[in-house]
Structure 1
Amino acid sequence: MQKVDLFIRHALVVTQDDQRRILEDGALAVKADRIAALGPTAEMDAVFTADRVIDASGRALFPGLVNIHTHLFQSAVKGLGEDMPVEQWVQAVTFPTARVINPEEAYLLSLVSCLENLRSGATTVMDFMYSLDNPALHDAVIQAILDSGLRGRYTRTIVDSGEEMGIPAVMRQPVKEALAHARTLQNRYNGAGDGRLDIGLAIGVIWAITEPGLRAVRRCADETGMTITMHVNETLFDNVAAQQRWGRATIPMLFETGVLGPDFIAVHCVHMTDEDIELFVRRNVAVAYNPVSNMYLGSGIAPIVQLARQGLRIGLATDGSGSNNCQDMLETLKFGALLQKVGHMDPSCVVAQQALDWATRGGAAALGLADQIGSLAPGKKADFFLVTPFTAKATPVHDPVATLVYSAGQPNVEMVVVNGRILMENGVFTHLNETQILHDAQRAAQNLARRAGTEKLLERRGKWRPV
């Protein structure tokens, strides 16, 4: 008998492997941080013994979901920026908040976002942190990711212009200085948390960076191996601003400056021309699809079906809670499929399996981690979650994939494992005091709203202050 650390048996295992195999009575063995084996329970029982054996009868086991775009600290502003387009929303809500947030608040509010990701089955997140000039704020968000147990990529945003657009001084730095800080973060944190964390680069928007800045980010990425992510054509304003500044639209400008490449994850991509899509294909760009955020801000419907048909890597994302009001990847799964159906007026244009692929295999591929996460296979990281069918929302169940995409909610997520470690069991976090964190975060958000002046947005609305 082979000894492993964790052995889960009698589960319905949705592997998300190349064949999309589903094992109706499956077992999975974990050794350290990796999957040692999986297969039919009867066969696995004959081979493995473990320190911890879990009988998962009646439940389904899925690979962890991959959330490839969020702003973790934005849980601070849930519900404050109602009914605004993105350009007004950043001025009224997120910029004032970013200007005054302190490291303790950034840690607590980011930790809340991490917990919700885990509760909704997400085991990997890519955080797009604002370009704040206080290094302690970046350290605080990174610490929240590490303490939560999530697998994460933390991206440090580069912004070297945009004063005329209202970007605060604390969010603008010379490119050389900002990239030096990104390199410092990479040297300090790459591989932290038993290999769960790495560092990447981010470009805020096309109207908040200079042409030398774009070229410098590409050089840094090439020299360090850091990926680049960027908000791209979330609204029509991106192209208007790019045309005014450079005489060409956003994506042609990114192509011209060499920014586009296989290591580039384009966020939103709502307003795309045929030329834009062709340039993405030529450079093998990955795309982060943010359906709930795009609806919430009224940005439009991204042409994700068209992008997917061109062979581009598509990952699913919540965006920050400021433009979503939550970090629920299960909700995002459902809306990701439904929004495309509405946009195409075709219920078959995105099926449940496609949506799950975007949230697992697609996200892993977009991050360059397809050999590590995104499916359940021997040798891959032990990142997965266990789903119980017995909630009123989900029951009765028939098809496990359709159930997860269209019917499941956070109460269905019973257990979450990241890097071989059980982080949540029977709906309770094993390593953190969730109740205390939530109360502390509520107090922090209330104090932050008062200092930032965003509390005034509630003057004609109800104000809820539970602590």
Structure 2
Amino acid sequence: MPNEILIKTIYVADPDLASQTRPETCDILVRDGRIAAVEGAIQAPGAEVIDGEGAIAVAGMVDTHRHVWQTAIRGVAADWSLVDYVREIRVGYATSYTPDHIYLANLVGALEALDTGVTTVCDFSHLMNSPAHAEAAIQGLTDAGIRGVFCYGFYDVPTRDRGFDSHDERLRHADEVARSFRSTAGPLLDFGIALTEFGLVAADLTDAEIDVARRHDALITLHVGTFGSPHGIADLARRGRLGPDMLHVHGNMCDDGELAQVVASGGGVSITPETEMQMGMGFPVTNRLLSVGGMPSFGVDIASNNGGDMLTQMRLALQTARAIDNQTVLDRGVVPDRIRLTVRDALRFGTEGGAKAMRLGGEVGRLRKGARADIALFSTRGLNMMPMGDPVAMLLLQSRPGDADTVLVDGAVVKRDGRLVGVDYDGLRQRSNDAFREIAERVEKTRDDMAGSSSAYSKVMKRATGTAS
């Protein structure tokens, strides 16, 4: 007998469907982890029934850039610039995590994503302070039950007690983790590589990191067009290293030619509007990427600063892109008479765009027959959802993250009736508070050591801010 779930009486938020001022409900049939049908009045005797009660169903959102490990230090970056972030996180807080801390951070961070309807995440994990940290990070994602890619980072965090003696040792360990990944990680996770930023290591070491990834057909994600080396894409292109296996993050300082090179290579781009605009990276590249034929995707970025829902990032990206478009018209002395980007565009970028960027296109990010059954149901019972209008518009601009009522990943219900299944909220809250206090105390003890650090991070930031001697 097939394993079936019948989700009844839902509105569908699908970017391919036309706007509906008087939307009609339908049903979704899930069979053996895949969507079997999306249509009206489905009959499925014996199936488990979930009464959607007029909820909005959307394909699980796809976050293409999140440093999940920073969930354990929420709020510390609220008023920081990028210079503050590098100084305080990269050479401060990052030095103070134990394996237990990163396990808990990844567990809670991934659960938070699921709680808000994000079912796939690209975890840019640049806290591989030791082999034990890597194991703990992978286990946290596995235990949460989220789909995603764990991207092993090579960043040399300046810890007092070194877990790796050299970059070569990190490369060897990454290779070992990649080889054993399928036997240790959950079935919904894939292995990826997070490159060290340009300017922090020599080009031959960047190539060595890329080579590890390509030996294992792994996704490669990298920060580009930010401090230190704003034209890294052009350098990769010159050396023949660009490829469709790359997920480029930010890109604010890249010129249009470099964005076109990414599109031509088949690579993806992740835009993180909240941190980019706060931390002085520049305006998100949404408009410019579209103009050269690319499809954006979105990411939450740093949980030390932002909430873990994707709705916020989609809204910020959409309205910022609209404002940029509008300004070009206003600068001519006239008022814009049309809006180019739509709520359907934003939804597509946050679902299909993310899936494509993570090389999961066709499998997730769409409410279509044959796709994996990653589905979020957003309640319409709240005052903010009255009256019910077009499902896409309501989801993108009216709903709240807390409206995510039921969530399925690969056909399994992970959130039901507003609560994550099998999660001890009180226990996690206490453990998270304890971990935050422990990390903060460890940071205070090492702050004097870090203040005089002559690390590569400090040198790059001095160059970027014009303070180098």
Q: Which of 84, 101, 108 is equivalent to 1:88?
A: 84
Counterpart amino acid of 2:309?
Answer: D
Indicate whether 1:326 and 2:271 are aligned: no
Indicate whether 1:156 and 2:152 are aligned: yes
The answer (yes or no) to whether the contact 2:222–2:247 under 8 Å persists in 1 is: yes
Q: 2:172 and 2:444 mapped to 1: Cα distance? A: 32
Q: 2:140 and 2:126 mapped to 1: Cα distance? A: 16
The answer (yes or no) to whether the contact 1:113–1:327 under 8 Å persists in 2 is: yes
Q: 2:128 and 2:33 mapped to 1: Cα distance? A: 34
Distance 1:252 1:398, change over 3 A: same
Q: 1:417 and 1:192 mapped to 2: Cα distance? A: 23
Distance 1:168 1:318, change over 3 A: farther
Distance 1:402 1:234, change over 3 A: farther
Indicate whether 1:385 and 2:376 are aligned: yes
Counterpart amino acid of 1:89?
Answer: Y
Q: Which of 299, 318, 325 is equivalent to 1:344?
A: 325
Distance 1:456 1:95, change over 3 A: closer
2:10 match? 11
> Aligned-pair distance for 1:320?
1.7
2:216 match? 224
Greater shift in the superposed pair: 118-127 or 299-308: 299-308
Q: For residues 362-410 of structure 1, what are the alpha-carbon distances to aligned partners after superposition, in whole Å with 9 as ceiling and x for unaligned?
A: 0000011012101022222110110111223333331111111112112
TM-score, normalised with respect to structure 2: 0.86
> What percent of counterpart residues are identical?
26
The answer (yes or no) to whether the contact 1:153–1:198 under 8 Å persists in 2 is: yes
Consecutive unaligned residues in structure 1, runs of 5 or more: 240-248, 458-467
Counterpart amino acid of 1:353?
Answer: R
Counterpart of 1:373 in 2: which secondary structure?
coil
The answer (yes or no) to whether the contact 1:305–1:349 under 8 Å persists in 2 is: no
> Aligned-pair distance for 1:231?
0.7
The answer (yes or no) to whether the contact 2:61–2:118 under 8 Å persists in 1 is: yes
Q: 1:401 and 1:169 mapped to 2: Cα distance? A: 51
Q: Which of 153, 159, 168 is equivalent to 1:176?
A: 168
Q: 2:346 and 2:167 mapped to 1: Cα distance? A: 37
Counterpart of 2:406 in 1: which secondary structure?
strand
Q: For residues 26-62 of structure 1, what are the alpha-carbon distances to aligned partners after superposition, in whole Å with 9 as ceiling and x for unaligned?
A: 2112222222222212xx22xx223411121311111
Q: For residues 137-183 of structure 1, what are the alpha-carbon distances to aligned partners after superposition, in whole Å with 9 as ceiling and x for unaligned?
A: 111121111111110100011247xx9xx798858764432232222
Greater shift in the superposed pair: 416-425 or 278-287: 278-287
Q: Which of 355, 371, 395 is equivalent to 2:362?
A: 371
How many residues end up aligned between the 2 structures? 436
2:126 match? 130
Counterpart of 1:300 in 2: which secondary structure?
coil
Q: 2:376 and 2:393 mapped to 1: Cα distance? A: 16
Counterpart of 2:91 in 1: which secondary structure?
helix
1:315 match? 297
The answer (yes or no) to whether the contact 2:385–2:398 under 8 Å persists in 1 is: yes
Indicate whether 1:411 and 2:402 are aligned: yes
Counterpart amino acid of 2:8?
Answer: R
Q: For residues 222-245 of structure 1, what are the alpha-carbon distances to aligned partners after superposition, in whole Å with 9 as ceiling and x for unaligned?
A: 32101110011134x433xxxxxx
2:71 match? 75
2:390 match? 399
Q: For residues 78-110 of structure 1, what are the alpha-carbon distances to aligned partners after superposition, in whole Å with 9 as ceiling and x for unaligned?
A: 222343321331212343222121111111122
Q: 2:396 and 2:91 mapped to 1: Cα distance? A: 34
Q: Which of 327, 332, 351 is equivalent to 1:360?
A: 351
Q: 2:195 and 2:161 mapped to 1: Cα distance? A: 16
Counterpart amino acid of 2:54?
Answer: G
1:464 match? none
Counterpart amino acid of 2:117?
Answer: G
Q: CA RMSD in A?
A: 2.6
The answer (yes or no) to whether the contact 2:286–2:317 under 8 Å persists in 1 is: no
Counterpart amino acid of 1:340?
Answer: A
> Aligned-pair distance for 1:264?
0.6
The answer (yes or no) to whether the contact 1:289–1:304 under 8 Å persists in 2 is: yes
Counterpart amino acid of 1:369?
Answer: L
Consecutive unaligned residues in structure 2, runs of 5 or more: 328-337, 449-469
Counterpart amino acid of 1:254?
Answer: L
1:270 match? 252
Counterpart of 1:436 in 2: which secondary structure?
helix
Q: 1:318 and 1:171 mapped to 2: Cα distance? A: 29
Counterpart amino acid of 2:358?
Answer: L
1:453 match? 444
1:234 match? 226
Q: 1:280 and 1:294 mapped to 2: Cα distance? A: 19
Q: 1:179 and 1:274 mapped to 2: Cα distance? A: 33
Distance 1:53 1:176, change over 3 A: same
2:194 match? 202
Distance 1:89 1:375, change over 3 A: same
Distance 1:394 1:226, change over 3 A: same
Q: Which of 235, 242, 264 is equivalent to 1:253?
A: 235
Q: 1:54 and 1:15 mapped to 2: Cα distance? A: 20
Q: 2:207 and 2:234 mapped to 1: Cα distance? A: 14
Counterpart amino acid of 1:110?
Answer: N
Counterpart amino acid of 1:66?
Answer: V
